[in-house]
Structure 1
Amino acid sequence: MSSIKTLAAPVECELEIKKSRFIGRVETISDLDEGMALVESLRKLHPEATHVCFSMLVAGQVRQSDDGEPSGTAAKPMLNVLQHKHLDGVLATVVRYFGGVKLGAGGLVRAYSQAISEPLGRAEYVEIKPRAEAVVSVDFEYDSLLRRLAREAGLEIDVHYLDRVSARVSGDAVALQNWLEMLTEQTRGTATLEQDSL
């Protein structure tokens, strides 16, 4: 399975296809609401544009619009490019200024795909590492072991003392899983997993 990536920085390009101007942009977003706010600001920035089409993908959720282009000719091809590149947490937008020459359905699909593919060809990518969290408890004698293993694994830890040592540990999902296995082994199975989001 390919790793999930996002962009290190926004990328943009401008194309002219049969007198129509296409401004393609891809940028990172943290949620769909942020994406919609960016689309609205783009509409204000380009009030004369014929279409402002978009496709966004965040944690498996999709929102998109052909904005008046024939159904399936703008947003879907843009989404296909994002998915083909294994991207997440991204918004792809294409602003189109109609130049008077109709492109037909096939021409539109190619134009919108190209307006997103071209800037992505120059983009820098960052791998998205899944994070997880767990709450564990151990006997007091394992307090320093718990802390040392978490530090060595690069995990964040928040410790509380109750009838046992209780710790909320978070970080990279793979590192956390390995840490849990090591902790269980080194405490001879006495470590208790209270809750997890692995």
Structure 2
Amino acid sequence: MPAYSLSAAVQSELDIKKSRFIAIVAPVQDRAAAMCLVAGLREQHRAASHVCWALMAGGQSGMSDDGEPSGTAGRPMLEVLRHHDLDGVVAAVVRYYGGVKLGAGGLVRAYTDAVAAALKQAQLIEHVPMSLLVLRLPYADEARVRRWIEQQEYALVKASHDDDVLMTVQLPAADAELAGGLLRDITQGRVQQIDTDA
């Protein structure tokens, strides 16, 4: 079953019993990027009562109720992301308390509805897990390998030149093994793949 991400960040706002709920859904690479976005919202909305968030990002998924009663914000938001088969997506909701208590059920509905409203405006795109290939090759093969990267429509993330050429290539994870073999073929075995945890 395919997973989806978002083409761009989207924001929407709901007013529920005098409380303002500002929801933001955004594509992110990893947890660090998601936490950066949440920190930015806290900075931007210093007067807000809560900035709750939920993240679907493979093994880095997580959530926070940020002071709301346990299970009334982060988990419902995470469930909305799960329900839409999203990955590499953070949802954050900024709440300005309006003086009327919503109760646990009301909070769950409010956070769920806020994220769902933002997602209605978002454009979903298929989420393709990516990998990095780090290659070491002789200068003589550089032009040939660069041409191959362009033909495959992969991204050359970085190239450095020392005794050899070091290239970092981003490509769909599903292509990584096959790509390594093809590169060995086109360079007659001169390219070396360097293992990386990236």
**What is the TM-score when the length of structure 1 is the normalising length?**
0.73
- In structure 2, relative to structure 1, the CA distance for the partners of 1:132 and 1:64 (3 Å cut) is same
CA distance in 1, matches of 2:106, 2:131: 41
SS at match of 2:161: strand
Tell me what 1:26 maps to: 24
Matched, 1:81 2:80: yes
Whether the aligned pair in 2 keeps the contact of 1:13 and 1:115 (CA below 8 Å) is: yes
Superposed displacement of residue 32, structure 1: 0.9
Tell me what 1:42 maps to: 45
Superposed displacement of residue 3, structure 1: 2.6
- In structure 2, relative to structure 1, the CA distance for the partners of 1:131 and 1:4 (3 Å cut) is farther
CA distance in 1, matches of 2:50, 2:166: 49
Tell me what 2:172 maps to: 173
Question: Which one has a bigger Cα radius of gyration?
Answer: 1
- The number of residues matched between the two structures is 186
CA distance in 2, matches of 1:179, 1:91: 34
Task: Map Cα deviations across residues 128-174 of structure 1 (whole Å, 9 max, x no partner).
Answer: 5424131233584x444323212312331626362xx4331312234
> Higher mean Cα deviation, 122-131 or 178-187?
122-131
Tell me what 2:50 maps to: 52
Whether the aligned pair in 1 keeps the contact of 2:14 and 2:114 (CA below 8 Å) is: yes
Matched, 1:70 2:73: no
Q: Which runs of 5+ in 2 are unaligned?
A: none
Whether the aligned pair in 2 keeps the contact of 1:8 and 1:126 (CA below 8 Å) is: no
> Higher mean Cα deviation, 110-119 or 86-95?
86-95
| Percent of aligned positions that are identical | 26
Whether the aligned pair in 1 keeps the contact of 2:6 and 2:122 (CA below 8 Å) is: no
Task: Map Cα deviations across residues 14-68 of structure 1 (whole Å, 9 max, x no partner).
Answer: 143xx34342311436241341231242233x4xxxx32411427424351342x
Superposed displacement of residue 75, structure 1: 2.1
Q: Which runs of 5+ in 1 are unaligned?
A: none
**What is the TM-score when the length of structure 2 is the normalising length?**
0.73
Tell me what 1:148 maps to: 147
SS at match of 1:168: strand
